[in-house]
Every structure is written in C-alpha cells, then in structure tokens.
C-alpha cells in the first residue's frame, strides 16, 4: 500500500480556502466552512471528491480530529481501499489513540492485509503494549507465503519491458509482448524467445500492452499505444492507440482499429475475447470499454467516476462482462440488458481493490491483486446470477517471486502470469533509470483448481450496511445507455499504463 503516493494524489485536489459550496437546495451556492464541521456533518457527505478536498485541507491545517473523521467516512464509502484504511490507522496513531488504531489494524488483518509495522516510527505513540505486540504479530502472519504455485520459467532480462502474455494452443507456445520494442515474441516453456511480429514488418505496432488469442478463428488481438516507453516513439504518433488484429498462425496483419485522436489522452491497455469471438478492450486512462462494431471501435461501458480499469473477463455464455477498477473493486455489465452492477461481496473478510488481472475460469473469477499487501492470486466463487461473491479461495499469497504481478493467460487448469513487472525501473518519460536493476522476467504458474472442493472464505453479504451500499454503484453500459451515479472514487489511482 503506497500511502505516500495516495497522499500526493489527495494533495493535488486541495482547494485554497477550506470552504465547500452547497448547491443542493439553493440557487445561489452557499459556502460552508469545513473547519467547523462536526463528525455528524462529515458523515452526511456522500461525495468522495468533496471528502478528498477536505482530507487535503485538514492535512494542511493539521486538524487531526476532523482528518480522522473524514478518512473514516471515505473508508466507509470505499471499503475496498486498503490505502485509505492505512491512512486512517496512521491518523489514529498520530493522535495516540491506541484503541482505534489497534481495532482498525486488526480488522485489516481479518481482510487479509499483511504488513510489518514492528519498526515503523509513524506508530510510535501507540507502541509499547502487549496489545500492540499482538497486532504487529498478527499483521506479520499474513505475510507468510501460502499456496503451491511456483515460477514456471523465466524470460531473458533486457530492455524489453514485457507487459503481456498470451497462449497459442495450436503451437503450444506462449506469446509475449514488449512495451519497449513493440514486438511480439513466441516463447517456449523454457523461456526461449523467437521473433514473431515486429513494427518493421509493416504492422505499425507501437508499445504492446495486451494480447488475446481467439484460436477458434485463428486470430490474435493486440492493443498497442504510441507511448513514451516505445523506443521508436515519434511525436507525430503521440496519443495514437488502437486494436490490431493478426492471423494467429502467420502473424499477418488483418485489420487495425484506431481510436480517433482528440484532446484526451488514450491508452488501450486491457483486452479479453469471449468464447463467441467477441472482443472487448479497455482504455485504462479514460475508463472506457470498447468492442468492434461496423469495423470500428464502439463504446460499451463508460462512467466518469471509475478510477482505473484494469483486468477484463467474460462469462462463458458471453452475457456478462466483468472488469476490475483498481480502487473500487469489480463491476459487471449485463450485455443483454445494457445494465451495470458492482460485484457484491462481504467486506469484513474480502477486499477487491488493487486487482490488475481478471480471468473467467469454470464459472469463477480469478484475480491478480498487486495493489494488495501482500500481493496475491485469488479465486472468487459467484452466486447463480453472477452478481455477487459467495466465497473466496486464496491460490497463491506473498510468494517471494511476486513483485507487482500483472497480467497472464490461462493454460488448461493453470494461470501463467508475469510475476515481476519492472516498469518501476523506468522513469515517467520512458527512460531506463538503472540498467543493472533489470531482472529476468519470472513467469509464475498458479493451479486454478487448488483446494477446489474446500470451503474457502465466506464472502456473501448477509445484511448490507448503509456505508457499503453507497460505495460504488453500477457503471453506465452503452446500448442502451444507462444513467448511473455511483459515489465518486476516493482518489485517482495511477493509470493502468
């Protein structure tokens, strides 16, 4: 959990005077002085953007009492955000409130969070008790590795930045895509690479961010964007992004579908193909999902309150599209009715924030959580209607090979995925900061049928509490368009790419 990063994001939202405009009942905006707010008044606020400004303002004013009330409200509205809960725990600790600090951290432990606070000076005011030692040991216990997965093979280290992997069942080989080179390689189970598709072939590929195979139709879909990480970047291509369709068996370019270049920055960064051959791609910056219609990209899902769409998954019947928002959790889109819904789950023991990769497997959803501490792979059993989680089973947790794991591909009953993405080795302008820091890319294998017949962790909602029902409501799904007004997210996460 990157607390420092989140604090920086919140600081950007600070309004100079800590005054809030209330236009709900009056034609003329009424300015309310947030420095006089009571806890009850703060708990009546449902706008996360307003609460974010208040957090930044109270931080600046060092108003720890109102800061804790505001963070508690934000946390209630965003129950899948571990960053917010840790910020709240830090605020309680700064006030020397042992009871609230211990209680919150133990609740996080029950949600699966693990962190070593034994030598963290920020909690100095609440240390020195047997209760604190108990809290620390319990949080450390969740850092213990769990699961039977292991590294299957490694890809050679180098200035390639592999961010995507797919499986070709006919070749019985993997495909890996390079952000730096814009190339796609064929890889065997020993990690040996062979060139397959390159920009020089005339494809026009830029950085390769995601791939999906439709073997039944001999197709390979690739999302590519002209990013600053691409070694062949040209200013003339700035902000270009699109979906490229290749013949899987030969690598021949068949079609390309580019988003129109406008004033908004776009990056198609996630992709999935259903069993029916329908393809969906997500713009991780604009938080929009597209499909191909009339030989062009058509909008399917959009909502301005989403923060950062990552993984996509489609049910076997093709009726439901699931997608992960890195801050807000998992949502679904009923593609027949054109309606959206949040994937309901009990938050006492399960949080669904921080998901990068998302996959449909045998009626379940499998998620790679790299925004969770510790990093983990989990399997979610669903209700009959597919709109809620009934139980969760951790597959692999806190494995030493994990270093911000990202995307993968299902091969039979296994999920192969990139275990150590290395984008942090590069600067914001795509420059390689430290060549010596590059590592071989570890491809990890998790058994998707691990503990298949075991109960797992119950995640059904028995009784919805008032805070959770308002956390994040349905996204807007196009055709027909649906008006949706979820509570705004706690803070903008970094874009997917």
pLDDT in tens, 154-213: 999 999 999 999 999 999 999 999 999 999 999 999 999 999 999 989 999 999 999 999
- Kindly provide the residue ranges of all beta strands, DSSP E only, lying in 16-107, ordered along the sequence: 19-22, 30-33
What tens digit of pLDDT does each residue of 117-145 get?
A: 999 999 999 999 999 999 999 999 999 99
| CA dist., res. 316 & res. 335, Å (int) | 13
Per-residue model confidence (pLDDT) at position 60: 95
Q: Categorize the per-residue pLDDT at 296 as very low, low, confident or very high, splitting at 50, 70 and 90.
A: very high
Per-residue model confidence (pLDDT) at position 462: 56
Considering the chain, what is the average pLDDT of its residues?
87
Q: Categorize the per-residue pLDDT at 29 as very low, low, confident or very high, splitting at 50, 70 and 90.
A: low
| CA dist., res. 458 & res. 388, Å (int) | 12
Q: Is the dihedral of CA 461, 465, 471, 475 positive or negative?
A: positive
Joined together, the tokens standing for residue 167 give: 């499986």
- Rounded to two decimals, the pTM is 0.86
Question: Over 50: is that where the pLDDT of 10 sits?
Answer: no
Angle, CA of 415, 418 and 421, to the nearest 5°: 155
| CA dist., res. 361 & res. 414, Å (int) | 10
Mean pLDDT along residues 280-299:
94
Question: Over 70: is that where the pLDDT of 241 sits?
Answer: yes
Higher pLDDT, 92 or 8: 92
Q: Categorize the per-residue pLDDT at 359 as very low, low, confident or very high, splitting at 50, 70 and 90.
A: very high
Mean pLDDT along residues 324-333:
94
Mean pLDDT along residues 411-426:
96
């Amino acid at each position: 959990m990157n607390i420092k990063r989140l604090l920086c994001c919140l600081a950007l939202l600070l309004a100079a005077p800590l005054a809030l405009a209330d236009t709900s009942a009056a034609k003329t905006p009424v300015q309310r002085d947030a420095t006089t707010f009571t806890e009850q008044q703060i708990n009546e606020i449902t706008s996360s953007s307003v609460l974010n400004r208040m957090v930044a303002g109270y931080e600046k004013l060092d108003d720890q009492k109102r800061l804790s009330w505001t963070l508690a409200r934000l946390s209630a509205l965003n129950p899948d955000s571990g960053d917010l809960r840790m910020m709240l725990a830090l605020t309680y600790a700064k006030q020397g409130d042992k009871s609230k600090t211990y209680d919150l951290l133990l609740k996080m432990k029950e949600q699966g969070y693990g962190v070593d606070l034994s030598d963290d000076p920020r909690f100095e005011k609440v240390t020195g008790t047997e209760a604190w030692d108990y809290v620390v040991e319990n949080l450390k216990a969740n850092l213990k590795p769990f699961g039977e997965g292991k590294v299957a093979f490694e890809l050679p280290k180098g200035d390639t930045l592999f961010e995507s992997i797919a499986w070709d069942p006919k070749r019985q080989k993997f495909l890996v895509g390079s952000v730096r080179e814009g190339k796609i390689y064929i890889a065997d189970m020993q990690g040996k690479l062979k060139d397959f598709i390159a920009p020089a072939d005339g494809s026009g590929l830029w950085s390769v961010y995601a791939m999906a195979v439709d073997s039944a139709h001999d197709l390979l879909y690739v999302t590519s964007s002209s990013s600053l990480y691409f070694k062949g970047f040209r200013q003339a291509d700035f902000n270009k992004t699109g979906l490229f369709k290749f013949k899987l068996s030969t690598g021949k370019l068949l079609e390309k579908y580019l988003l129109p270049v406008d004033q908004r920055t776009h990056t198609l960064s996630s992709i999935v193909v259903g069993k029916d051959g329908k393809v969906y791609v997500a713009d991780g910056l604009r938080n929009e999902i597209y499909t191909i219609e009339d030989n062009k990209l058509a909008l399917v899902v959009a909502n301005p309150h989403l923060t950062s769409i990552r993984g996509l998954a489609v049910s076997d019947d093709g009726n439901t599209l699931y997608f992960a928002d890195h801050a807000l959790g998992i949502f679904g889109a009923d593609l027949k009715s054109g309606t959206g819904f949040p994937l309901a789950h009990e938050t006492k023991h399960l949080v669904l924030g921080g998901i990068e990769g998302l996959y449909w497997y045998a009626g379940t959803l499998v998620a790679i959580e790299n925004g969770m501490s510790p990093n983990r792979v989990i399997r979610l059993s669903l209700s009959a209607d597919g709109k809620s989680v009934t139980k969760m089973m951790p597959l692999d947790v806190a494995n030493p090979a994990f270093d911000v794991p990202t995307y993968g591909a299902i091969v039979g009953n296994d999920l192969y995925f990139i275990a150590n993405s290395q984008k942090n080795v590069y600067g914001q302008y795509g420059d390689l900061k430290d060549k010596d820091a590059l590592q071989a890319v570890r491809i990890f294998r998790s058994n998707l049928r691990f503990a298949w017949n075991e109960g797992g962790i119950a995640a059904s909602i028995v009784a919805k509490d008032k805070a959770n029902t308002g956390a994040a409501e349905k996204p807007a799904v196009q055709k027909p368009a649906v008006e949706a007004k979820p509570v705004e997210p706690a803070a903008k996460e970094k874009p997917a790419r």
